[in-house]
Structure 1
């Protein structure tokens, strides 16, 4: 089912949570609403769900105007950051809850719950209570419960925000695989850029109640329309006045090493700098530098292999050059 929001406005006093927002969310895709706190992403999601009423604007689900319909009449599955599990019910009964209150036949409920337990990998935990599960397992249970009633759309509001980094990484990959299996139209709210890039078919970047840019992860990362999108969707630094990503900076001990012939078409100039600090971050190494002429600080990210070859040390002089610069329209 597709979702369309047209001219959405929502104010809280003098604060514009949504400022004339319009967005099309295609059928069967996973779209992330990405932005900092206060950007309007959760308000937009809650408006789609019917949990917040817009001051003006229209919400269509599969061309049906649901703007004034209650959440119960929108056929939506909703998963929050906090699991809201029924603590006195087992995993199996939590997943079955929505089907039972809809008075579905017992055999149908059993078949559906068995299927979802298998999909989310909780079959062996079905008799446990929520308190006996890990955070990741409880979130998978919450997703299964939301999917049990065959919602038209699935709305996820920071579903992994309360989990530690390793569990979030695992659940991101799991969510992507799950979406490829069920193909339900999904909207994910997140402030985590890596999460959005990892799982999304499309990303909408919000800022101050407006949508800055919508597109595929590659579109937004490689072709941002303005400095806000570029800087929010990954690290950026200024090099010779150009906004570049740290991993697009080449370092060398001589100007010639920083300017290989393969980069000759990109005339950004070579900048002389002093190494301030070298930090190994697993596969990557972050080199913190200060420009010799201007005194401006910036950082470059190189592979661990390149660092092993260069063996850069604090206090050394190096030469830096951008291998890629995005053409931006200043916001």
Structure 2
């Protein structure tokens, strides 16, 4: 149980409808001070509406938002002490990068030295130290988003809200910025809420993940707990790859592949029958760098599924399309569907 004095943001009984569509359906969530919490879910799950309600950009139909012990449900966004970064950030087109980042500090009438030092530090962190004199139109999309992050952080907000901030960037830039964001958070510990539909991003960056679906929170907890102990099939399917084996959802990397029934077993695991070994046909072998995805057809049911094995294991097996193999699940997560959100 988390004590109230360690909670930075508390949303209680939040409801929000747009016509007949329930964007938020009785949502409650506590976000600890200094944490980096990801709101993860598919399009239309309510994650951005929840974030915008915390920011004050959406007014709830009912429910409350408390930040740092203060009820801000009816408080304007400007008075909530938050930094907000959207996927498509609206910069001041007539201001240079330096002036954009410095804007919040200047209206707070900080000293020139304090502004210069802070802006220099942030531009260095986000990799824009050589772009101070450029205008937003002279930057790439990724550079503009890094400028937006620097600008949001410049005023040292109590809460940082990020709505798909890396969604428009290419994979390499996304990975670099995720690493930077995690490192920055570890240094400054600003309470951060990140909206994303990218499971890998949530697992990579967040201390805690709230999985949303159809306006409700399915499960809240640490990434490893949600991955290993999902509350239901939706959480398991959304938070990582899954395959269906013997009627159960399993992780592809938890499927053992062998050329004979015995080779699909580890030592002291009993017989092939007791361990649930089944016959499958290799449909395709896909090399993914260190890992290899084996696309398989269940000989008994005709269902397609896939296993993920290491490159070394694949080289030892030497698998080719059309061959018969034997597979089994080495681990089947225990899924206990719950009526209410599960705190992992």
Smaller-chain TM-score bracket:
over 0.9
Helix, strand or coil: the match of 2:297?
strand
Partner Cα distance (1:8, 1:190) in 2: 20
The answer on whether the counterparts of 2:269 and 2:275 sit within 8 Å (CA) in structure 1 is no
| Length-normalised TM-score, structure 2 | 0.92
Shift of 1:291: 1.1
The answer on whether the counterparts of 2:16 and 2:60 sit within 8 Å (CA) in structure 1 is yes
Shift of 1:263: 4.8
Partner Cα distance (2:63, 2:82) in 1: 19
Q: 1:300-324: CA deviations, max 9, x gaps?
A: 1111111111111111110000011
Which residue of 182, 190, 193 corresponds with 1:184?
190
Query: Structure 1 residues 203, 185: closer, same or farther in 2, change over 3 A?
Result: same
Partner Cα distance (2:166, 2:37) in 1: 16
Residue 84 of structure 2 is aligned to residue 84 of structure 1: no
Partner Cα distance (2:121, 2:279) in 1: 61
1:221 aligned partner: 227
Partner Cα distance (1:178, 1:135) in 2: 21
Partner Cα distance (2:337, 2:193) in 1: 28
Shift of 1:90: 1.3
Query: Structure 1 residues 265, 90: closer, same or farther in 2, change over 3 A?
Result: farther
User: 173-182 or 72-81: which moved more?
Assistant: 173-182
Shift of 1:330: 4.0
Which residue of 93, 106, 111 corresponds with 1:105?
111
Residue 226 of structure 2 is aligned to residue 251 of structure 1: no
1:21 aligned partner: 27
Partner Cα distance (1:264, 1:187) in 2: 47
Shift of 1:264: 5.1
**Consecutive unaligned residues in structure 1, runs of 5 or more:** none
1:207 aligned partner: 213
Partner Cα distance (2:160, 2:269) in 1: 45
**Consecutive unaligned residues in structure 2, runs of 5 or more:** 1-6, 339-344
Shift of 1:124: 2.4
1:314 aligned partner: 321
User: 277-286 or 216-225: which moved more?
Assistant: 277-286
Shift of 1:262: 5.7
Partner Cα distance (1:60, 1:115) in 2: 32
User: 196-205 or 271-280: which moved more?
Assistant: 271-280
Query: Structure 1 residues 247, 88: closer, same or farther in 2, change over 3 A?
Result: same
Q: 1:109-166: CA deviations, max 9, x gaps?
A: 2232223223333222222222333333222211110011111100000000001111
Q: 1:20-76: CA deviations, max 9, x gaps?
A: 000010101100000000000000000000000000111010110000000000011
1:31 aligned partner: 37
Partner Cα distance (2:50, 2:63) in 1: 11
1:326 aligned partner: 333
Helix, strand or coil: the match of 1:2?
strand
2:4 aligned partner: none
Aligned-residue Cα RMSD (Å) equals 1.6
